[in-house]
């Protein structure tokens, strides 16, 4: 079985990346793991043309980049998205990716699909102490999963995490979360 861990942050070396490393390490004995960072891909914003509502294909010139990421989703049995809070929501880069996944959205036909039976998990982190902000990020990720027909199986919210060094005191929470994956 394969697990895809998505760093939804544009920062490849920060707290989010550290959490991705811990998750990868903890679940690698059960899964063949692969980690990607959304910032490793370059693509434009969705133009809202809705051509994909009729064809299940994006007409933008860089559509192959989104298809490449979606192939990673398709190949995985488990998908874990790890997102920091950017002004109380997921980072713009990940939101732009979600928008570009409209060809796979199950609210219109025809639509592209990924293999069924996938399980999805969400991890949200934020600088401040309030959990509702993490819940908002988790809600965005789980909403996205729902439209791809990925079963939402669990989530973790981590508050008061701004820098990489703030992750270490929370490591056991992350390890405990990984036991359900």
Rg of the Cα trace of the chain? 16
At 101, the pLDDT band (50, 70, 90 cuts) reads: very high
CA distance 73 to 140: 17
pLDDT by residue (tens digit) across 47-75? 999 999 999 999 999 999 999 999 999 99
Tokens at 144, concatenated: 């996205």
Beta carbons within 8 Å of 99's beta carbon, 6+ residues apart: 45, 46
Q: Return the percentage of the chain with pLDDT > 70, whole number.
A: 100
Give the phi and the psi of residue 36 in degrees, each rounded to 5.
Answer: -130, 155
Q: Residue 49 forms beta bridges with which residues? A: none
Mean pLDDT of 85-89: 95
Q: Specify the number of domains making up the chain.
A: 1
Give the model's pLDDT for residue 110.
Answer: 95
Give the model's pLDDT for residue 118.
Answer: 98
CATH of residue 60: 3.40.50.360
CA distance 72 to 66: 10
Give the model's pLDDT for residue 88.
Answer: 93
CA distance 102 to 98: 7
As a residue count, the chain comes to: 181
Tokens at 25, concatenated: 């390490």
Contact (CB, 8 A) for 24 and 33: yes
Instruction: Provide the 10 A C-beta neighbour count for residue 104.
Output: 22
Give the model's pLDDT for residue 143.
Answer: 98
Mean pLDDT of 85-109: 96
Structural domain including 8 reads 2-178
pLDDT by residue (tens digit) across 21-39? 999 999 999 999 999 999 9
CA distance 138 to 152: 10
pLDDT by residue (tens digit) across 114-133? 999 999 999 999 999 999 99
CA distance 10 to 16: 9
Q: Return the percentage of the chain with pLDDT > 90, whole number.
A: 99
What one-character-per-residue DSSP string does 77-115 give?
A: SEEEEEEE-SSSS--HHHHHHHHHTGGG-TTSSS-----
* Ranges assigned E (strand) in the chain: 2-7, 32-37, 78-84, 119-125, 151-158
At 104, the pLDDT band (50, 70, 90 cuts) reads: very high
């Amino acid at each position: 079985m394969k697990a895809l861990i998505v760093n939804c942050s544009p920062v490849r070396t920060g707290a989010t990346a550290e959490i991705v490393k811990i998750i990868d390490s903890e679940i690698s004995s059960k899964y063949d793991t692969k980690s990607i960072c959304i910032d490793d891909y370059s693509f434009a914003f969705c133009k809202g043309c809705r051509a994909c509502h009729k064809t299940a294909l994006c007409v933008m010139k860089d559509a192959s980049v989104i298809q490449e990421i979606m192939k990673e989703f398709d190949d995985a049995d488990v998908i874990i998205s790890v997102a920091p809070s950017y002004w109380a929501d997921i980072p713009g880069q990940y939101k732009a990716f979600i928008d570009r996944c409209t060809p796979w959205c199950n609210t219109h036909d025809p639509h592209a699909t990924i293999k069924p039976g996938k399980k999805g998990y969400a991890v949200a982190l934020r600088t401040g102490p309030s959990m509702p902000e993490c819940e908002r990020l988790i809600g965005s990720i789980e909403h996205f999963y729902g439209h791809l027909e990925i079963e939402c199986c669990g989530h973790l919210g981590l508050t008061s995490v701004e820098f990489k060094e703030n992750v270490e005191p929370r490591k056991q929470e992350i390890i405990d979360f990984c036991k359900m994956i």
